[in-house]
Structure 1
Amino acid sequence: MTLPASALPANMRLAGKANPPIGHYEFCKTYGDECRAKQSDPGPAPLTEARWKELLDVNYTVNAAVQPLTDQEIYGVEERWDYPSSVGDCEDFALQKRKLLIEQGFEPSDLLLTVVLQPNGEGHAVLTVRTDHGDFILDNMRNKVLLWSDTEYTYLKRQSSDDPGRWVKLQDGRATAVGSVKSQ
């Protein structure tokens, strides 16, 4: 197994404070310990061959174990973030992956819930793993772990690495503005 080669931009750029998603706010009321700042951020995790294998294994294992269903189908509500038992939606997959990686020794400050837009404009949640090789995305829609800039998503916001109860805006440096000019 070989570590992925880094490409620029390897790490997401932060663009200020953001409000947490309502689902995460409610999750923090239930799982308060998961949303409290523990210590200062030691910086991105060193990505070794063993750590890379753990990322791949956790992404695949959770994707295979949890059946995707919407919160409406599961709970009868529009939005609820929780750990999945056998069913869940995108943020539930991300929460489970985060939990398992913390159990394997990853720092919580390197495992950040992230809100993105899919190419079709729908919202989606993924888990960002900050490493010294770049920010990688664990996604319930694919088993392959990709560098954030190699995905088709537009990145909106994610948890702060300093405080998991706070969120920060993301500046997607890959996007280029394309405007159309009407002929007159």
Structure 2
Amino acid sequence: MFDFRGRGKGLALAAMLFGISAAAQAGEGRLLYASLGDTTRAPIGWVEFCADNAAQCQGAPLQPRDIVMSQAAWRDLVKVNRWVNETVKPLTDQEHWGVIEKWSLPSDGYGDCEDYVLLKRKMLMDAGWPRQALLITVVRDKKGEGHAVLTVKTDKGEFILDNQNENVLAWTETGYRFVKRQSQSDSNVWVSLGDTKPAVSTASAKD
């Protein structure tokens, strides 16, 4: 299920990557990274997921580490994002499990936004990406509803993998309000995120 090689033909890679990073060259570096706040409560879905999947929730503190965003790294992000979005079929936790909230790896091919995020994170970690740069993030979408995405922290800014968009976007381009995410040093510690006024979202409508 996790073999995504050979997918993603015809992707716009370098142009998109360096276009997104142009903000830094224009002196707008403040937009590259979300503002971190105080420690906050971890989502109950994450806590329960970790109780059943300890290997995915390493608690030992690590030094924060960002990805060096090369063209190869960008290709991997786009491939993983699109492959998971195309492979996993959307299904609410109520329909799937009969409960309001349950985070799980979508081993049966169905899941909601948190499950897409968990699979993308796992695939990248299995490929050798540091988990300190792969941060599960809670946002409010354009409708004000709770949503989960994966923030990838890089030397060129923070990029978002989202089941509602086949493209990988800079965090300021999503149209979301960022609420909280995992700490880089400890995946079981969550930090609040400063309120922002991001650009208009280009995300397509998809569960």
TM-score, scaled to structure 1: 0.91
Aligned pair partner of 2:167 in 140, 144, 154: 144
Counterpart Cα distance in 2 of 1:83 and 1:145: 21
* Other-structure match for 1:82: 104
In 1, distance between residues paired with 2:194 and 2:47? Answer: 22
Task: Look up the SS of the partner of 1:37 in the other structure.
Answer: coil
Higher relative contact order (CA 8 A, sep 6+): 1
3-state SS in 2 of match to 1:94: helix
1:101 match: 124
Aligned positions of 1:2-21 closer than 5 A = 2=14, 3-4=17-18, 5-6=20-21, 7=23, 8=28, 9-21=31-43
In structure 2, the gaps of 5 or more residues are 1-12, 199-207
Q: Equivalent residue of 1:45, what SS?
A: coil
- Are the equivalent residues in 2 in contact too, given 1:37–1:162 (CA < 8 A)? no
Tell me if the contact between 1:20 and 1:167 (Cα under 8 Å) persists in the aligned partners: yes
Which of 55, 59, 73 aligns to 1:37? It is: 59
Letter in 2 for 1:13: S
Q: Residue 174 of structure 1: SS of its match in structure 2?
A: coil
Separation in 1, partners of 2:132, 2:162 = 18
35-44 vs 45-54, greater mean Cα deviation: 35-44
Identity %: 45
> What RMSD over aligned residues (CA atoms) do the two structures have, in Å?
1.3
Corresponding residue pairs, total: 175
Distance in 1 of aligned mates of 2:103 and 2:115: 6
Q: Which residue of 1 aligns with 2:93?
A: 71
Q: Quote the Cα distance in structure 2 between the aligned partners of 1:129 and 1:102.
A: 12
Structure 1 unaligned regions, length at least 5: 176-184
Q: Partners in 2 of 1:98 and 1:41 — Cα distance?
A: 18
Q: Partner of 2:8 in structure 1? A: none
For 1:82 and 1:41, locate their aligned partners in 2 and report how far apart those are by CA, in whole Å.
Answer: 27
Q: Which residue of 2 aligns with 1:179?
A: none
Q: Any runs of at least 4 consecutive aligned residues in structure 1 with deviations exceeding 6 A, and if so which?
A: none
Query: What do the CA deviations read for 1:118-177 (whole angstroms, capped 9, x no partner)?
Result: 1111100000000001010000001010000111100000011110111100013436xx
